Amino acid sequence: MKIGVFVSVVAGQKGFESNVSGHIQVPLQSIDELRAEGHDVHLITNEFSENRSLPFCLAEDLEIHFVTDSRNRGGVLERTGKPGQGLSFMRLLRQVSEIKRICKEQKFDVLHLYGYNRTAHLAGGLRLFGLKIPVVVTIFGTFFPERLSFLTKRLWKRIDSIVTATSFVKRNLEKEGIPTTQITHGVIRHINDEYEGPELGAPHRVLFWRDLTIDNGADVVIEAYEKLAPKYPEINFDFAVRQHWEPIKGIDKIAENHNNIHLYHFPYEEGITLPKLLLESICVVMPIRKMSIDPQLVIAETLAAGIPVIASNQRSNPEFIVEGKTGALVPLGDVEATTTALDEILSDLEKAAEMGRAAKEDIAARWNWDNYAEELIEVYEKVTR
């Protein structure tokens, strides 16, 4: 089968070609899985400026087609502009025309788009404006109610099939009357395989590895760390963070006041890597407030590495963390509950190690790529019939 896969933004900031967001990782891995089964898959993505570059994980022989970007991104990734604003109607028409032309020239059997509500609108619009082949959309997360819903509902109905990975997103779509097929996928980044270096030390740290923001619950983690660091002086309470346009301030001073609280900025200093930090962790704390994707891949990746996770009890997180067995689920923004959950894990390191082993087994059994390509092909065959 010949398949076109559309991903709006694949190129990222230069220097971060190995640091790929989940909404890009999933379709690129999907392409690899389909190609491994013998299918001819092409990537369609928006053109990008010279200060961007494609991620290293792209297969060298993958055929890529570039189309006009319909959004005036204006520095969205640097936050000099605002996400979700600046749609150009003229560029949108060009984008639709170019995608249709590529699909016709390449004689694709099906076009598969990955994204959110706006991607679904684009897919429905392509069919509305004459695309002859079926369109399938994988939805990472939903945003309802929609503006101009009288129009967008018609676009959703034009889509031949909707796919999502989690029960949470499936329920949200079906509440809107949108039939959805759930196809679970596996972990993409295998932290254990990434580690290259001397023998790892015994687990001796707690780790937060997200952007240092309120949206990611970093403020909750800071308070939990400050409360528990004096109680567990032999344990490191660490942050591994990337540059961000709105980081929480003052963390450096907090680290200065506690010998066992450390802050590591990416790119990390010599001898420090994320795999090393993670694989030497007793547990990971991620009380994320604002999730942009379901599943939140950092949670799945951590569990797959054999590390229990404390995360916010929302959206698709309960589909990954088995309460009390592979981690803990805490209410949004609840410092006391987060501190208590972390304290319980640190007070029994033997149990923590068992939770890690259970997490690795559970994710491998329930979230993998074993049947992913086969299930996608079933969807394609159904819509092409």
Taken as a whole, the chain contains a residue count of 385
pLDDT score for 163? 98
The CATH number assigned to the domain with range 2-185+369-384 reads: 3.40.50.2000
Is 75 strand, coil or helix? coil
pLDDT score for 73? 60
- Tokens representing 303? 């569990």
pLDDT score for 243? 83
| Cα angle value 144/150/152 (rounded, 5°) | 60
Reference 227, options 341, 325, 368; nearest CA is 341
pLDDT score for 13? 74
Q: Which residues are CB-contacts of 61 (< 8 A; sequence separation ≥ 6)?
A: none
Q: Which residues of the chain have pLDDT under 70?
A: 16-19, 72-86
**Number of helical H runs and strand E runs in the chain:** 13, 15
Is 283 strand, coil or helix? strand
pLDDT tens, position by position, 148-199: 899 999 999 999 999 999 999 999 999 999 999 999 999 998 999 989 889 9
**CATH superfamily name and code, 191-366:** Glycogen Phosphorylase B; (3.40.50.2000)
pLDDT score for 294? 95
Tokens 């395989």 label which residue? 193
CB 355 within 8 A of CB 310: no
pLDDT score for 76? 41
pLDDT tens, position by position, 44-85: 999 988 888 888 888 899 999 999 998 866 544 444 445 455
pLDDT score for 81? 47
- Euclidean distance between CA atoms 262 and 20, whole angstroms: 25
| Cα angle value 266/267/272 (rounded, 5°) | 90
Straight-line distance from the first to the last Cα atom of the chain, in angstroms, rounded to the nearest whole number: 13
Tokens 């929480």 label which residue? 248
Please, where in the chain does CATH 3.40.50.2000 lie? 2-185+369-384, 191-366
- E-strand spans in the chain? 2-7, 12-13, 40-46, 52-53, 64-67, 110-115, 135-139, 161-164, 181-182, 205-208, 236-241, 261-265, 281-286, 309-312, 327-330
